Amino acid sequence: MRVSRRTLLKSAAASGLLTAVGTPVAFASDIEELVIAYNVNLPSWDPTVGPSAVNPTIQGIYQSVFDMFIHQNTDLSFAPGIITAWGWNDDKSKIWMDVREGVTWHNGDPLTPEDIVWSLERAGNPDTGNPIQFIWGKVGNFQIDGNKITADVKEYEPTIFKWMSFLTGYVMPKKYYEEVGADGFEAKPIGTGPYMVDKFERNAFVRLKANENYWGGAPEFKTVTIKFVTDASSRTFEVMSGNAHVTLEMPYEEFDRLKENDGIVGTAAPISDIGMIFINDVDPMLDENVRKAMAYSIDKKTIIERLLSGYGVPIDTLQTPDYSAYDASITVPYDPDKAKELLAASGFGPDNPVKFKIQTTRGFKPKDYEIIQAIVGLWRKIGIEAEIEVYEIAKHYELRAADTLAPAAFYNWGNAIGDPTTSTGFAMFGPSPHSVWDGEELMQKILPLWGEADEDKRIEGWKEVDRHIAENALVIPLLQYVQPILHSDKVKVTPHASGALLPALMTRS
């Protein structure tokens, strides 16, 4: 049954959810303040350190305040940003970058090449806590000549410029940060991005004000409030009650139903995120028959059709069809009979099930918990008894960094640059802080690919790694996501293929 707008507004008023003046913002005649109901909290304002720095979902907030070194378009292609041009010398022993002129920080200070050098040196310093330090530390000995920066390549990294548009690739203010310190920056962060932080209440909201001097042009909405609403049902209600203009990541059946309501528009597009199950190399996952049985018994197509209303693309490697190392020939079929045979070979079955714990978020991504419920049900039929533990996404990062995830753990992996190093590489290379599979054989297959200078050979090498992983069920990829966004028909939302929800790309319709 469709809920009427009147019913929703009465409920909102009774709950105290309307705006201070009593007007539902989504149905107002004009929008003075854009309100977004967001699906995660913001733990920290430094986009370059700590677990939150590698949370793909938070990047939409960070990119509103801070600029990345190199801009990334909505289709994931790269474009001039703070760095306007970049490249290698002939023998790839050096990199060079040109810095945009006329950019100012939110406090009015000019951005200089020294800010770029300081940001890169800080990112490459293992003492600062950058989770991607092992990438940034591969260049050094920076030299500045006017607006051109050069640096020595200490260790060849084929993706160094791609990372300048990805996680932790943000330009930070040298002078301001050194003046106020880490605590001062957390209390009053500044960047060069399209929005400035006006007010922040932890676990509640952040209010942003437009940067009228933004080098890329001032955004249309001059005030944006991002409310942190981690419950999917509550996010949906925020928009339907008129208490927010935009929200994302709700169940797809709700998306299909609610986008038909007057005044509400639904936008859905594939993004670079994938749903996958980490496998930790602890008992019983050291038994390859158990791992393979887990993989063969998952009916991905049916799960996507029934739980996600068809919004999703089944995948069998940690590459989506949009990634540069995608290989359609690598498949893991749904074969429950084969799964039973494998378990039986290790002495397991419905009468003697193998038992372990699987961890998952609930409401972070559409139907994340329900997907795991369905998979656990499929496993139970063949002789796998998995206990579900629900945790917040922040807890996942904490456990993964400490290599203490459960034997199986569901996760949403973001790879906005589509490179195999940032999907298969970091997820599966044992020494990486993002991996929990520490097998020596896999590590030795991956190791030479990090510095492979021949691009064709590098990509083919990663495809072979993906084939080895699939054949041995060292991780269980599930699907490429389609991101559902509900918004007022008075707002035009431009989706970004990275999954970042960017208010600077929103305009009045």
Interaxial angle between packed helices 113-124 and 174-187, expressed in degrees from 0 to 180 and rounded to the nearest 10:
60
Between the CA of residue 96 and those of 69, 71, 103, 117, 159, what are the distances in Å? 13, 16, 19, 12, 14
Distance CA 449, CA 444 (A): 10
What's the mean pLDDT in 480-503?
Answer: 95
Structure-derived torsion over alpha carbons of residues 459, 464, 468, 474, reported in degrees to the nearest 10: 0
pLDDT of residue 442: 97
| Strand pairing report for 148-153 and 139-145 | antiparallel
Distance CA 478, CA 151 (A): 40
pLDDT of residue 84: 98
Go through the chain and tell me how many residues it has: 509
How confident is the model over 81-102, as pLDDT tens digits? 999 999 999 999 999 999 999 9
What's the mean pLDDT in 168-194?
Answer: 98
User: Is 55 a residue whose pLDDT tops 90?
Assistant: no
Confidence of residue 15 (pLDDT cuts 50, 70, 90): very low
Q: Which residues pair with 477 in a beta bridge?
A: 276
> Are 67 and 192 a contacting pair, CB within 8 Å?
yes
> Are 138 and 149 a contacting pair, CB within 8 Å?
no
pLDDT of residue 163: 96
Mean pLDDT (the chain, rounded): 92
What's the mean pLDDT in 63-72?
Answer: 98
Confidence of residue 26 (pLDDT cuts 50, 70, 90): very low
Confidence of residue 29 (pLDDT cuts 50, 70, 90): low
Where do the domains of the chain lie, and which CATH numbers do they carry?
5-45+178-269+483-508 (3.40.190.10), 76-173 (3.90.76.10), 271-481 (3.10.105.10)
pTM over 0.85: no
